[in-house]
């Protein structure tokens, strides 16, 4: 098999890079063993505001524009619905938080995303005496459906190998590389937390965090918006809601824990006062970086080897943006932005 690219890993980063290749008529094959769960357990929200501090997301305008275009294209390609437009309501804990919200909503980079109207709480199942602030231009991507459908699409086109990548079998030459029976021009590693086992990219400034999510059934809750309080509460239909997420630095396994569940339930019960039933509990490791910026670029020795990683907690939004940057860097020698480039580490 001869292709332009070998891609290792098919989470949000890998899919975004595949889409760049597809739209530019490049051939590729993907290796994926489903070992990384960060994208699979993602809540899937796209939200251009950091709600803890009421500040804009880095490159939020550019990220959002590219992300919405990509997911619309994927919906057309896969003939499925992925993008569910849903507002995000930030629960206020005090009058001071309300005032901070109004101050933030006057800032040029936030004005179009933060409504300057306080929404009163009229839902008896929610504890929110100070009401909510609404974030505009938000939504949820069904990441599980996306990954499952995209893998099926690649299988149909014989473009995916469901197996672990054997680094020792990769032979790198100046103008090409070979892997078993595959010859390619470039290899891109988009493995998420799995990069910690990659011998070609060591000593990366990763600060991975484990995240746990619950899915609950709460027929009396009846909300059609994402509620952000101590936890996120995300409606996914049929009276089901995702509750997330935890941030654990020490236990870096994909196993769920009672500690994580307890923390999520404590946050949940501080904002809702209705019966619920736990339906599912999942965990995964986010490839977060110490400076909260992606890790994108070329290997320091091998000119045809690249990294696309470090999307952290906002992979839904940032994935398409960094994938395009990497593609333009490889194919057109367009410089990567310093804030995401691996060159910032040297």
Q: What is the pLDDT of residues 3-51, one digit of tens each?
A: 999 999 999 999 999 999 999 999 999 999 987 767 667 789 999 999 9
**pLDDT for 40:** 62
Measured in whole angstroms, the distance separating CA 95 from the mean position of its chain's CA atoms is 32
Cβ pair 195, 309 in contact under 8 A: yes
Q: What is the pLDDT of residues 191-218, one digit of tens each?
A: 998 999 999 998 899 888 899 999 999 9
Q: Is the pLDDT of residue 115 over 70?
A: yes
| Residue (of 196, 193, 157, 163) closest to 180 by Cα position | 163
Q: Is the pLDDT of residue 65 over 90?
A: yes
CA torsion 215-219-224-225 (nearest 10°) is -50
How many whole angstroms separate alpha carbon 268 and alpha carbon 140?
20
Which domains are seen in the chain, by residue range?
2-43+144-205+290-344 (3.50.50.60), 87-137+209-286 (3.30.9.10)
**pLDDT for 39:** 67
Q: pLDDT-based confidence at 287, cuts 50/70/90?
A: confident
Q: Average model confidence (pLDDT) for the chain? A: 94
The residue with tokens 């999942």 is: 282
Instruction: Mention every residue, 6+ apart, whose C-beta is less than 8 A from residue 274.
Output: 125, 218, 220, 221
| Residue (of 247, 294, 336) closest to 11 by Cα position | 294
Cis upstream peptide for 19 (omega within 30°): no
**pLDDT for 207:** 86
Say what the pTM is: 0.93
Q: Is the pLDDT of residue 187 over 90?
A: yes
Q: What is the pLDDT of residues 162-180, one digit of tens each?
A: 999 999 999 999 889 999 9
**pLDDT for 38:** 72
Q: What is the pLDDT of residues 215-274, one digit of tens each?
A: 999 999 999 999 999 999 999 999 999 998 898 989 988 899 999 999 999 999 999 999
**pLDDT for 203:** 87
Mean pLDDT of 73-92: 97
């Amino acid at each position: 098999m001869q292709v332009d690219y070998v891609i290792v890993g098919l989470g949000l980063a890998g899919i975004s890079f595949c889409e760049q290749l597809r739209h530019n008529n490049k051939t590729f094959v993907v290796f994926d063993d489903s070992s990384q769960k960060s994208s699979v357990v993602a809540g899937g929200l796209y939200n251009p505001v950091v709600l803890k501090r009421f500040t804009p997301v880095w490159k939020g305008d550019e990220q959002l524009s590219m992300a919405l275009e990509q997911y619309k294209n994927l919906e057309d390609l896969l003939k499925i619905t992925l993008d569910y437009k849903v507002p995000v309501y930030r629960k206020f804990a005090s009058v001071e938080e309300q005032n901070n919200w109004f101050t933030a909503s006057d800032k040029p980079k936030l004005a179009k995303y933060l409504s300057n109207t306080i929404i009163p709480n009229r839902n008896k199942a929610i504890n929110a005496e100070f009401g909510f602030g609404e974030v505009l231009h938000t939504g949820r991507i069904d990441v599980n459906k996306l990954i499952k459908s995209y893998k099926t699409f690649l299988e149909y086109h014989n473009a995916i190998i469901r197996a672990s990548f054997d680094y020792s079998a990769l032979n790198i030459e100046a103008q090409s590389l070979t892997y078993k029976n595959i010859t390619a021009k470039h290899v891109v590693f988009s493995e998420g937390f799995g990069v910690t086992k990659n011998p070609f990219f060591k000593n990366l400034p990763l600060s991975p965090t484990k995240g746990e999510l619950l899915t609950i059934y709460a027929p009396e809750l009846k909300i059609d918006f994402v509620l952000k309080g101590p936890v996120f509460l995300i409606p996914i239909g049929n009276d089901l809601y995702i509750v997330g997420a935890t941030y654990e630095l020490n236990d870096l396994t994909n196993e769920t824990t009672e500690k994580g569940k307890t923390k999520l339930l404590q946050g949940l019960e501080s904002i809702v006062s209705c019966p619920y039933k736990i339906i599912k509990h999942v965990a995964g490791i986010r490839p977060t970086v110490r400076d909260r910026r992606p890790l994108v670029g070329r290997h320091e020795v091998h000119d045809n080897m690249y990294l696309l990683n470090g999307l952290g907690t906002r992979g839904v939004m940032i994935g398409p943006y960094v994938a395009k940057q990497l593609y333009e860097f490889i194919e057109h020698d367009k410089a990567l932005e310093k804030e995401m480039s691996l060159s910032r580490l040297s």
